[in-house]
Amino acid sequence: MLDINIIRNDIERVKQAIVNKNETTSLDSFQELDSRRKTLLIECDELRNKRNVTSKEISELRSKKKDASELIQEMKGVSDQIKQLEAEAKVLSDDLDSLLMRIPNIPSDDVPVGKDPTSNVIVKSWGDKKAFSFTPLPHWELGKELGILDFERAAKISGAGFTLYMGAGARLERALCNFMLDLHTQEHGYIEVLPPYLVNRTSMTGTGQLPKLEEDMYRIPEDDLFLIPTAEVPVTNIHANEILSNKDLPILYAAYTPCFRREAGSYGKDTRGMIRVHQFNKVELVKFVRPETSYDELESLLSVSEKVLQLLGLQYQVVKLCTGDLSFAAAKCYDIEVWSPGVNKFLEVSSCSNFEDFQARRSNIRFRDDEGNLRFVHTINGSGVALPRTMIAIIETYQREDGTVEIPEVLRPYMNGLDIIRSV
């Protein structure tokens, strides 16, 4: 949520941010709602002050055994008027809060302006495309031949958009999660967290998934709980409604979770294999930082996410997202895209975002600085990294002409010595 003073003082900037992000929220009613609410609150304060002053007069009259009935009757009317004004102000406040919840974050000044991904900017590349002496197969063919991925049985169990990992495939998935958690906790200083996979509406609203993206979420109506679309939601809300100490910042968390997304607006896209699925595993990185250091902390988070792919020996590129491709809550975002030889394109495996104080305001996460002032933290998160597209890249990059798949060396200690996946 934006600081309301930004909207009051520079509404044209906010309107332009809405346009640049391809959002449709209208601010036409903001000034009227805000002005009317302030007027009502002022009237309430004036009436309360009048009631307080008159109450003293009534007390003095009573102490002198004088008649105060006229003033008492007048104050009853004032009290009724205050209640009416408070009720009107509450309605206006609720309307204003609802509007504020639908206003996106303002993009950082260095985010390129553009309508869609064609305006994204490649800022760096790492590694070279692997040369094959044969035509590399896509992961859905390799996975079937090796008996490690079964899409047909997954569809029988759950429907389209799910994956069944078998044998060495299941072991490789688990190895990747353990490898990434060990890397981030032992070398990068993150604290491991295993959060709940179901969260309440307040948590989803705090990180910005609601109200905008509710149709993309899996919801349990009876309890109004949501399956998490990313560990960002429960981990960011660890410190909701808390005041953190300046000396404790930055706070760094790493969490493995499955993630659940309906992908309601994506039917027909990337339907082969497991490029776009409803359930997938991910190691998420979340940081709570001081505002002054947040963009340096974003670059640091990007670098540790890149480290995963470097150690796995996978070619990738880093893309700075334009305004039209930026998420509702983000001020700036880098996508990391890994090369998939069998699919023959780059696939996103991580989005590293700085939300500035947008999520912290919605979740009320503050810290007390060295001068004793209460301020909102900045939140940063990113995948470190997401599966199954990393799995896709490994299977397709490390495939061999005889149909086997080599295990990246860094994962072998997690595979109980298995270094080659062969057909069962």
Is 362 considered catalytic here?
no
Q: Please give the Cα distance from 415 to 349 (Å, whole number).
A: 22
Going through 228-310 in order, the beta strands assigned E by DSSP cover: 242-245, 251-260, 279-289
Beta bridge partners of 386: 282
Q: Please give the Cα distance from 234 to 227 (Å, whole number).
A: 10
Q: Please give the Cα distance from 403 to 179 (Å, whole number).
A: 25
Catalytic site residue from 203, 294, 340, 351: 351
Beta bridge partners of 351: 335
Sign, CA dihedral 129-131-136-140, equals: negative
Is 86 considered catalytic here?
no
Q: How far is CA 289 from CA 60, 108, 236, 245, in A?
A: 56, 17, 12, 11
Output the six-digit token pair for 60. Answer: 């003095």
Catalytic site residue from 171, 276, 361, 366: 276
What one-character DSSP code corresponds to residue 422?
Answer: -
Catalytic site residue from 261, 361, 362, 366: 261
Q: How many whole angstroms from its chain centre is CA 255?
A: 14
Q: Please give the Cα distance from 152 to 159 (Å, whole number).
A: 9
Q: Please give the Cα distance from 282 to 300 (Å, whole number).
A: 19
Closest to 7 in 3D by CA, of 32, 41, 44? 32
Helices of type H across 166-278? 168-182, 201-207, 232-236
Is 348 considered catalytic here?
yes
> Counting every residue, how long is the chain?
424
Output the six-digit token pair for 235. Answer: 């981990």
Catalytic site residue from 43, 141, 348, 406: 348
Residue 417 zone, left/alpha/beta (φ > 0; ψ -120 to 50; rest): left
Whether the bond between 385 and the residue before it is cis, its omega within 30 degrees of 0, is: yes
Catalytic site residue from 171, 361, 366, 389: 389
CB 29 within 8 A of CB 92: no
The DSSP-derived string for 77-89 is HHHHHHHHHHHHH
Going through 269-391 in order, the beta strands assigned E by DSSP cover: 279-289, 316-320, 332-340, 345-354, 365-368, 374-376, 378-386
> Which residues have a catalytic role annotated?
261, 276, 348, 351, 389
